[in-house]
Structure 1
Amino acid sequence: MTLLAVQNLGKSFGGVVAARDVAFTLERGEMLALIGPNGAGKSTVFNMIGGQLRPDHGAILLDGQAITAASPQARFRKGVGRTFQVAQTFLSMTVVENVQMALVSCHREAQGLWKPTREHYRGQALELLALMGMADAADRSCSALAYGDVKRVELAIALAGGPKLLLMDEPTAGMAPRERAALMDLTSSIAASRQIGVLFTEHDMDVVFGHAARVLVLLRGEIIAAGSPDEIRQNPRVRQAYLGDEHALHAPALERPA
């Protein structure tokens, strides 16, 4: 069964159509990129799937069950994890405490924290941090970490709920090129080994072409192209949308990384 099915989602803000009949599917273990020029509607579509926005029409199915009206918290408990363009962590807490809090939330124990947080799920949190290569930083404050390491902590938080679906909004924003590749290599490996479907938005075409199995291209709220990275790279309408010139065959922004 298809993991995620997005069916004819539509959203308008006043007289502006931000998403028009957006439809696609995502399979388990698949890395799917959602791209488009600024103002294309990526954030609107992404936030409807994440539950931050309610669509005007259409449906979102996870494992065949409708989650269209579910809150972000309910989606988390149903198996939807998320990272954000600006990493969302508690800077006043240690690295391991951030992951422990996510585990507590997943197990619905936030109302009963009668013992110190450090005693809840520490072992599981350390396992997730080890997967991220962050175990040695477990007891450091998040405020003392480099930004690339904060992104890894955020990924550990997103994985705390054992997600079926992982939504990553600009996962490499603010990172150095080498850090970007390392984070996405790690994500691809985890997605494949745990059969997690990953939907991500991204401006860096090296990241898109190097890690996505399929790519969706949005323009003015509509999907104008869908296919493999090679198919998208060669699509004249995509090049025109990004470059304003359908004859620009070798623009750096759309080249496959070496």
Structure 2
Amino acid sequence: MTLLSVQDLSKSFGGVAAARDVSFMLERGEMLAIIGPNGAGKSTVFNMVGGQLRPDHGAVLLDGQNITLASPQKRFRLGVGRTFQVAQTFLSMSVAENVQMALVSHNRKSTALWAPARMRYHEEALALLEQVGMAESADHPCSALAYGDVKRVELAIALAGRPKLLLMDEPTAGMATRERAALMDLTAEIADAKGIGVLFTEHDMDVVFGHAERVIVLVRGRIIATGSPEEIRQIEEVRRAYLGDDHALEKPKGVSPAEGVSPA
């Protein structure tokens, strides 16, 4: 069964259509990127999938379950994890405590005030930090970390909810080039090992073409193409609308835009 099914999502703001009949699917273990120029509707679509925005019409299904009207909190407990363009961590807490708080929330133990949160799920937090290469910094305050390391901690926090689906909003924003590749390599490795579907938005085309298995291109709220990174590179409409370099992305002989690509 398909992990995520997005069906005809539409959203308007003051008569301006930010998303129009957007439909796509995501499989377990797949890395799917949404790209497009500023104002294309990427954030609107992303936030409708995450529950921050309610669509005017259309549906979002997770494992066949309709979650269109579910809150972000409910989606988290159903297996939807998320990272943000600006990393969301408690800077005054230690690295381990940040992950422990996510584990407390996921396991619905936050009402047990008589048991200090720092005593709960410590070993589980360390195991998650080991996965993202941050176990040695477990006792450090998040405020003392380099930004690339904060992004790794945020990934561990998202993994604390045992997600089926991981939403990553501009995951490499603010990071150095080498850190960007390392974070996305790590994400791809974890997604493949755990069968997590990853949907991400990204402006860095090196990140997109180096890590996405499929790419969705949005322009003015509509999907104009879906395909592998190499297929997307060859579509003239995409180059004109977003990539902008017709000469650097010359179409190989014998490749048709229709082969394996779904223009909208």
TM-score (norm 1): 0.95
* Distance across 1 between alignment mates of 2:200 and 2:55: 19
C-alpha offsets along residues 75-105 of structure 1, whole Å, 9 cap, x if unaligned?
A: 0000000000000000110100000000000
Query: What is the SS of the residue equivalent to 1:9?
Result: strand
Q: Which amino acid aligns with 1:125?
A: A
* Distance across 2 between alignment mates of 1:231 and 1:243: 13
Question: How far has the Cα of 1:243 moved from its partner?
Answer: 5.1
Q: Any residues of structure 2 matched to 1:51-200 within 5 Å, and which?
A: 51-200=51-200
Aligned equivalent of 2:248: 250
Question: How far has the Cα of 1:249 moved from its partner?
Answer: 2.8
* Distance across 2 between alignment mates of 1:118 and 1:135: 16
* Distance across 2 between alignment mates of 1:146 and 1:54: 35
C-alpha offsets along residues 125-147 of structure 1, whole Å, 9 cap, x if unaligned?
A: 00000111101100110001000
Aligned-pair identity (%): 77
Q: Which amino acid aligns with 2:42?
A: K
* Distance across 2 between alignment mates of 1:241 and 1:16: 20
* Distance across 1 between alignment mates of 2:242 and 2:31: 22
Question: How far has the Cα of 1:115 moved from its partner?
Answer: 1.7
Q: Which moved more, 1:109-118 or 1:139-148?
A: 109-118
Aligned equivalent of 1:255: none
Q: Any residues of structure 2 matched to 1:33-48 within 5 Å, and which?
A: 33-48=33-48
* Distance across 2 between alignment mates of 1:218 and 1:66: 24
Q: Which amino acid aligns with 1:249?
A: H
Aligned equivalent of 2:241: 241
Unaligned runs of 5+ in 1: 252-258
* Distance across 1 between alignment mates of 2:41 and 2:26: 19
Aligned equivalent of 1:50: 50
Q: Which amino acid aligns with 2:39?
A: G
* Distance across 2 between alignment mates of 1:244 and 1:232: 13
* Distance across 2 between alignment mates of 1:79 and 1:13: 29
* Distance across 1 between alignment mates of 2:117 and 2:44: 35
Query: What is the SS of the residue equivalent to 1:112?
Result: coil
CA contact (8 A) 1:170 1:203 kept: yes
Aligned equivalent of 1:229: 229
Query: What is the SS of the residue equivalent to 1:183?
Result: helix
TM-score (norm 2): 0.93
Query: What is the SS of the residue equivalent to 1:69?
Result: coil
Q: CA, structure 1 residues 27+243, in 2 after alignment: closer, same or farther (shift >3 Å)?
A: closer
CA contact (8 A) 1:234 1:249 kept: no
Query: What is the SS of the residue equivalent to 2:38?
Result: coil
Question: How far has the Cα of 1:110 moved from its partner?
Answer: 1.1
* Distance across 2 between alignment mates of 1:132 and 1:229: 26
Question: How far has the Cα of 1:244 moved from its partner?
Answer: 5.7
Query: What is the SS of the residue equivalent to 1:111?
Result: coil
* Distance across 2 between alignment mates of 1:42 and 1:226: 14
Aligned equivalent of 2:255: none
